[in-house]
Amino acid sequence: MNILSANELMTVRQHGAMEYVTPPTDLDDVRRYRLKRIQDELVRQDLAGIILYDQLNTRYATDSTNMQIWCSHNEARYVYVPANSGAIIFEYGGKSLLSEGLPGIARIEKPVSFFYMSAGPTVAEKAKEWAVAMDAIIREHSGSNRRIAIDRLAPVGIQEMESLGYEVHDGFTVMEIAREIKSAGEIALMRESISVCEDAVQQMREALRPGITENALWAELHRGNIAGGGEWIETRLLSSGPRTNPWFRECSMRPIEKGDMVSFDTDLVGPYGYCCDMSRSWICDAAPDDEQRRLYSAAYEQIKRNMELLKPGLGYRELTEKLHPMADEFIAGRYGVAMHGVGLCDEAPAIYYSQDYDAVGYDGVFEEGMVVCVEALIGTEGGKECVKLEEQVLITADGHEQLTSYPLEEHWV
C-alpha cells in the first residue's frame, strides 16, 4: 500500500473502492517557481533573506502546512528563505513528516518560540535566544549582508534582530511582489480550487429554502470545500433580506424567509491552498420583485463592463478612471475596492474607485499571469437589500479570461 504525503492528498477521485490522487499539474514545478519568485525579489532588493511567520507566506515558499490557522495567531512555526539557497523550515515540534519530499526545503529545524503561551515570563530571554540562532543561520548563508526582510513578528523579535545590527525591511512587500505573477501550474491549481468552490456553491443553492438559517446555508459551503480537498474559508460573509444592507454583516442564526435576497462572498481557500473568491446573490424560493431586479441589473452591468477593461499594460490609475460609473444612489454603499488581486488569498493590487483613489490608491501596471477579482456591491443607502457579485479573472497575453463560471441570474437582467 502506498502512503501519500499530506502534500499530495489534495484532489481525490473515486474509482470503485479505491481512491487515488490526480494533481492537475506538476506540484514540484509550482513549488520551484514560487521559491524562485521570492529569491529573485530578495536579490533585486539586495536582501540576505526573509523570515516568514505569516502562514500564507510560509505555504507559498515551501508548500508545507501545519495547523495553519492556529499558527497564524501563535508564532510557533516559521521559515527562513535565503536569497541563494533552499529554505529552512522551523517546524512546530521539530517534526519532519509534514515537509518530506518538498523540493524547496533544505533542512528542518526545531523552532525557538517566544510567544507568551510558550515562553511565559521568559519572553525576553527566549526572543534573544531566537535572534542569536537566526543570526548564525543568516551568516551561514549570506555572510556580511545584514539586510533582511520579516513579514510578521512580535516587536521584541524585531528589536533583538536590530540589536544584532540587522536592517529590517518589510517582508510583505517582498512576498506580495513575488506572488503577483502566477505560473501556468498555479493557474491549473487555482482552476481546481474554483471547481471545488463552485460545486459547493451549487450545494448551497440546492439547500436554500425558507426556514434554513444563514449559518446552516453557509455550512454547506464549508462541507463541500473540505470534502473536495479544500482547507478553510476566510470569512463568514453571507447575509439575507434586510441583513444584506449595509454589507459586511456575517452569517447568523436568522432563518431565511421566502423572497429574501441572499448575498454571499466565498473567500474560500480550496485544494492546494488556492483561493476562490466569488460572490453571488439569489432570491429564496421566489422570483425577484422589481426592486431586487433593478439592483441585480445594476450590479450585473457594473461587473461585466469593468471586466471588459482588463488587459496587460493597463495602469491601475487608468483603470480607476475608466471604471463603469455607478448611479449616485449606489455610491455611498460602494465596496471598498473595485478589484483586487488573488492567489493563495486576497492580494495586491487593490483597485479603488475614483472617490477613494486620492486617499488610498496607488499606481501600477497589469501583467500577464496576474489574477484579479472584479467586485460589484449595489444597494441604496437606507434601502432594504444589497446585491453582491464577484468574478475571478486571469490577465492573459491578449486580454483576460474569466475563471469563475457559476452562472449569474442573467434572466433577471
**pTM (2 d.p.):** 0.93
Over residues 134-161, mean pLDDT: 95
For residue 264, what are the β-bridge partners? 238, 280
Scanning the structure block, which residue is given the C-alpha cell 473502492? 17
pLDDT over threshold 60, residue 9: no
How would residue 94 be classed by pLDDT, with cut points 50, 70 and 90?
confident
Rounded Cα distance, 286 and 17, in Å: 41
Q: Are 212 and 53 in contact (CB under 8 A)?
A: no
The pLDDT of residue 21 is: 66
C-beta of residue 28 within 8 angstroms of C-beta of residue 103: yes
Mean pLDDT of 270-289: 98
Is pLDDT larger for residue 205 or for residue 21? Answer: 205
The contacts of residue 266 (CB under 8 Å, 6+ apart) are 197, 201, 221, 233, 276, 277, 278, 279
Task: Determine the CATH number of domain 22-179.
Answer: 3.40.350.10
Q: Cβ distance 298 to 327 under 8 Å? A: yes
Range 211-228 average pLDDT: 98
**Nearest CA-CA partner of 141 in 167, 170, 106:** 106
The C-alpha cell at 195 is: 471547481
What's the pLDDT band for 322 if we cut at 50, 70, 90? very high
Q: Kindly state the cell numbers that stand for 339.
A: 478589484
In this predicted structure, the answer to whether residue 16 has a pLDDT above a threshold of 60 is no
Domains of the chain, by residue range, sit at 22-179, 184-412
Nearest Cα to 393, choosing from 313, 304, 316?
304
Task: Specify the pLDDT at position 210.
Answer: 98
Region 59-63 average pLDDT: 97
Q: Can you tell me the mean pLDDT for 300-326?
A: 98
Dist CA 63 CA 185 (whole Å): 14
| Placement of cell 473568491 in the chain | 277
Neighbouring residues of 245: CB distance < 8 A, sequence distance ≥ 6: 333, 379, 380, 383, 384, 385, 386
165: Cβ–Cβ under 8 A, 6 or more apart, which residues?
A: 146
Residue 311's pLDDT is what?
98
What is the chain's Cα-based Rg? 23
Q: Considering the domain 184-412, what is its CATH architecture?
A: Alpha-Beta Complex (3.90)
The percentage of the chain sitting over the pLDDT mark of 90, rounded to a whole number, equals 90
Check whether the bond before 246 is cis (ω within 30° of 0): yes
Instruction: Give yes or no for residue 215 having a pLDDT over 50.
Output: yes
Question: Quick one: pLDDT at residue 19?
Answer: 53
Q: At residue 162, what is the residue type?
A: E
Q: What is d(CA 52, CA 78) in angstroms, rounded to the nearest whole number? A: 6
Q: What is the pLDDT of residue 156?
A: 96
Output the 3-class SS for 215-228: HHHHHHHHHHHHHC
pLDDT bucket at 95, cuts 50 / 70 / 90 = confident
Provide the mean pLDDT of the chain.
94
Residue 264 to residue 378: CA distance in whole angstroms:
13
3-class state of residue 263 by DSSP: strand
Block residue for cell numbers 492567489? 343
Grade residue 20 by pLDDT with cuts at 50, 70 and 90: low
Using pLDDT thresholds of 50, 70 and 90, give the confidence band for residue 10: very low
